[in-house]
Amino acid sequence: MTRLGTLPRRSRAIGLAIVAALLLVGGAACTDDRPQSSDPDVPPPGLADTLPGKAPLPAQRCGKSGNAPATKVVLTTADGVHLAGVRFGGGARGVLLLPQRDVDFCPWWDYASELVTAGFHVLAIDLRNTGQSEAGDKADYTADAAAGVSELKRAGAAKVVLIGASQGGAVALVTAARLPDQVAGVVALSYPDDGLDVTDGTGADPHTPAQAAPKITSPMMLCFTSGDRQAAAAKPQRLAATSPAAVKELVGRSGVSHGWDMLKLGPDDVRPDLLRFLQSYA
Once rounded to an integer, what is the mean pLDDT over residues 16-27? 39
Would you state the pLDDT for residue 2?
Answer: 32
pLDDT digits over 246-277, tens only? 999 999 999 999 999 999 999 999 999 999 99
DSSP 96-157: EEEPPTT--SGGGHHHHHHHHHTT-EEEEEPPTTSTTS---SS--HHHHHHHHHHHHHHTT-
The amino acid at 137: D
Once rounded to an integer, what is the mean pLDDT over residues 176-197? 98
- pLDDT band per the 50, 70, 90 thresholds, residue 49: confident
> Which CATH architecture best describes the domain 51-281?
3-Layer(aba) Sandwich (3.40)
Cα dihedral 110→113→114→117 (10° resolution): -160
The least confident of 45-49, 79-83, 94-98 is 45-49
pLDDT more than 90, % of the chain: 81
Q: Where are the domains of the chain?
A: 51-281
- What whole-number distance in Å separates Cα of residue 38 and Cα of residue 164? 32
Query: The pTM is what?
Result: 0.85
Over 90: is that where the pLDDT of 68 sits? no
Once rounded to an integer, what is the mean pLDDT over residues 203-207? 96
CA 98 to chain centre: 9
Would you state the pLDDT for residue 65?
Answer: 84
Would you state the pLDDT for residue 40?
Answer: 58
- pLDDT band per the 50, 70, 90 thresholds, residue 21: very low
